[in-house]
A and B are shown apart, each in its own frame.
Chain A
Amino acid sequence: MTYILKPKLHHPSLPTNALGLTRRDYEGKVSTLCAGCGHDSISSAIISASFELALQPHRLAKMSGIGCSSKTPDYFLGQGHGFNSVHGRMPSVLTGANLANRDLIYLGVSGDGDSASIGLGQFAHSIRRGVNMTYIVENNGVYGLTKGQFSATSDKGSKSKKGVVNSESGIDLVALALQLGATYVARSFSGDKEQLVPLIKGALSHHGPAFIDVISPCVAFNNHAGSTKSFDYVREHNEAVNRLDVILGRAPITATYAPGEVREVTQHDGSVLRLRKLHADYDPTDRIAAANYLQEHHAKGEVVTGLLYLDPDATDLHDRLGTTATPLNALGTDQLTPGSAALAKINAGLR
Chain B
Amino acid sequence: MGPGQGICWTIRIENALLWGAPLKATDISNPDYFHKVVDCQWACPAHTPVPEYIRLIAERRYTDAYMINWQSNVFPGILGRTCDRPCEPACRRGRVEDEPVAICRLKRVAADNKTDISARLPKVAPRNGRKVACVGAGPASLTVARDLAPLGYEIHIYDGDKKAGGMIRSQIPRFRLPESVIDEEVGYITGLGPIMHLQQPIDSLKSLLAEGYDAIFVGTGAPRGRDLDLPGRKEAAANIHIGIDWLANVSFEHVKKIGRRVIVLGGGNTAMDCCRTSRRLGGDDVKVIVRSGFEEMKASPWEKEDAMGEDIPILNYLVPKEFTHREGKLTGVSFEKVKAEYDAKGRRKLVPTGEPDQHFECDDVLVAVGQENAFPWIERDIGMEFDKWNMPVVDEVTLQCSIPNVFFGGDAAFGPKNIIWAVAHGHAAAVSIDKHLNGEDVAERPAPNVTIVSQKMGIHEWSYDNDVANDQRYKVAHREKSVALKDVNAEVELGFDQTIGFKEAQRCLNCDVQTVFNAATCIECDACVDICPMDCITFTMNGDEADLRTRLKAPATNATQDIYIGDGLETGRIMAKDEDVCLHCGLCAERCPTGAWDMQKYLIDMTYAGHACRQTA
Q: Are B7 and A36 neighbours in the complex by a CB distance under 8 Å?
A: no
A226 smallest CB distance to B (angstroms): 16
Assuming A14-B554, A36-B592, is B530 touching A8 (CB within 8 A)? Answer: no
Within 8 A of B (CB), among A169-215: 190-193, 195
Contacts of A237 on B, CB cut-off 8 Å? 1, 6
Which one, A6, A12, A36, A240, contacts B587 given CB within 8 A?
A6
Q: Is B7's CB under 8 angstroms from A9's CB?
A: no
Give the residue name and chain of the A residue nearest to B585 (CB): A7
> Does the CB pair A232–B570 fall under 8 Å?
yes
Residue of B nearest to A230 (CB): B523
B203 contacts which chain A residues (CB < 8 A)? Answer: none
Q: Report the stretch among B47-55, B395-403, B466-474 that lies at the interface.
A: B466-474
C-alpha gap A217/B593 in the complex (Å):
12
Whole-angstrom distance between the Cβ of B157 and the nearest chain A Cβ: 48
Known A10-B533, A11-B534, A219-B593; judge A36-B468 contact (CB<8 A): no
Q: How far is the CA of A62 from the CA of B5 in the complex (A)?
A: 37
* In contact, A235 and B525 (Cβ under 8 angstroms): no
A235-B571, A302-B1 known; A36 vs B554 contact (CB < 8 Å): no
**Any chain A CB within 8 A of the CB of B512?**
no
CB of B99 closer than 8 Å to a CB of A: no
Residue of A nearest to B6 (CB): A238
Q: Mark B521-561, 1 if CB is under 8 A from A, else 0.
A: 00111110111011100000000000000000011010000
What is the interface residue range for chain A against chain B?
Answer: 35 or more
For A2-44 the 0/1 string (1 means CB < 8 A from B) is 1111111111111000000000100000000011111011011
Contact A231 B470 (CB under 8 A): no
Contact indicator B530/A4 (Cβ below 8 Å): no
A9 and B583 contacting across the interface, CB-CB below 8 Å: yes
Query: Is B97 on the interface with A (CB-CB < 8 A)?
Result: yes
A9 touches B97 (CB 8 A): yes
Rounded to whole angstroms, the CA-CA distance of A266 and B97 in the bound complex is: 43
Residues of chain A in range 220-254 having any CB-CB distance to chain B below 8 Å: 223, 231-232, 235-240
CB distance from B62 to the nearest CB of A (A): 26
Let me know if A9 and B468 touch, CB within 8 A: yes
Number of interchain pairs (Cβ within 8 Å): 117
Answer whether residue B590 sits at the interface, using C-beta atoms and an 8 A cutoff. Answer: yes
In the bound complex, CA of A170 to CA of B362 (Å): 96
A235 and B592: CB pair below 8 A? no
CA distance A300 to B1 in the complex (A): 8
Which B residues are CB-close (under 8 A) to A44?
526, 529-530
Interface size counted on chain B using CB atoms at 8 A? 41
* Contact indicator per residue, chain A 69-110, by CB within 8 Å of chain B (1) or not (0): 000000000000000000000000000000000000000000
Cβ B526 vs Cβ A41 within 8 A: yes
B520 CB to closest chain A CB (Å) equals: 15
The reply on B477 being an interface residue by CB < 8 A is no
A12–B561 Cα distance when bound, in Å, is 15
In whole angstroms, what is the CA distance A216 to B7 when docked?
17
C-alpha spacing A5/B591, complex, angstroms:
13
Q: Which A-chain residue is minimally distant from B3 (CB atoms)?
A: A236
Docked complex Cα distance between A314 and B96 (Å): 47
Interface of B is mostly: loop
B2 interface residue per 8 A CB criterion: yes
Chain A residues within 8 Å of B97, by CB: 9
A348 sits at the interface (CB 8 A): no
> Which chain B residues border A217 with CB–CB below 8 Å?
525
- Nearest-neighbor residue (CB-CB) of B593 within chain A: A36
Given contacts A13-B557, A35-B527, A191-B526, contact A7 B583 (CB under 8 A): yes
Question: Once bound together, how far apart are the Cα atoms of A240 and B8, in whole Å?
Answer: 10
Q: Let me know if B15 is at the binding interface, CB within 8 A.
A: no
Q: Does A4 contact B587, Cβ atoms closer than 8 Å? A: yes
Contact of A219 among B5, B466, B525 (CB under 8 A): B525
Q: How far is the CA of A190 from the CA of B533 in the complex (A)?
A: 20
Is the CB of A1 closer than 8 A to any CB of chain B?
Answer: yes
CB distance from B594 to the nearest CB of A (A): 7
Q: Are A12 and B96 in contact (CB under 8 A)?
A: yes
B581 within 8 Å of A (CB atoms):
yes
List chain B residues, Cβ under 8 A from A193.
526
For B479, the chain A residues whose CB sits under 8 A away are none
**A301 interface residue, CB < 8 Å from B?**
yes
The residue among B1, B97, B466 with the most chain A CB atoms within 10 A of its own CB is B1
- Residues of chain B within 8 A (CB-CB) of A1 are 460
Would you call B417 an interface residue if the criterion is a C-beta within 8 Å of the partner chain's C-beta atoms? no
- Asked if A4 contacts B523 (CB within 8 A), the reply is no
* B contact residues around A40 at 8 Å (CB): 527, 530-531, 591
Residues on A with beta carbons closer than 8 Å to the beta carbon of B468 = 4, 7, 9
Contact A11 B535 (CB under 8 A): yes
CB <8 Å contact, B6 and A231:
no
Does the CB pair B525–A41 fall under 8 Å?
Answer: yes
Minimal beta-carbon separation of B22 from chain A (angstroms): 20
Q: Which of A7, A191, A232, A305 has its CB near the most chain B CB atoms (within 10 A)?
A: A7
**Contact of A301 (CB < 8 Å), options: B1, B525, B555, B557:** B1
Q: Does B226 have its Cβ within 8 Å of any Cβ on chain A?
A: no
- List which A275-306 residues lie within 8 A (CB) of chain B: 300-302, 305
Residue of A nearest to B578 (CB): A11
Which residues of chain B (145-186) have a CB below 8 Å from chain A? none
Give 3 closest A-B pairs by Cβ, nearest first. Answer: A36-B593, A7-B468, A44-B530
- List 13 interface pairs A-B (beta carbons < 8 Å), by A numbering: A3-B460, A3-B461, A4-B460, A7-B467, A8-B533, A9-B534, A12-B581, A13-B557, A219-B523, A219-B593, A235-B6, A235-B570, A239-B6
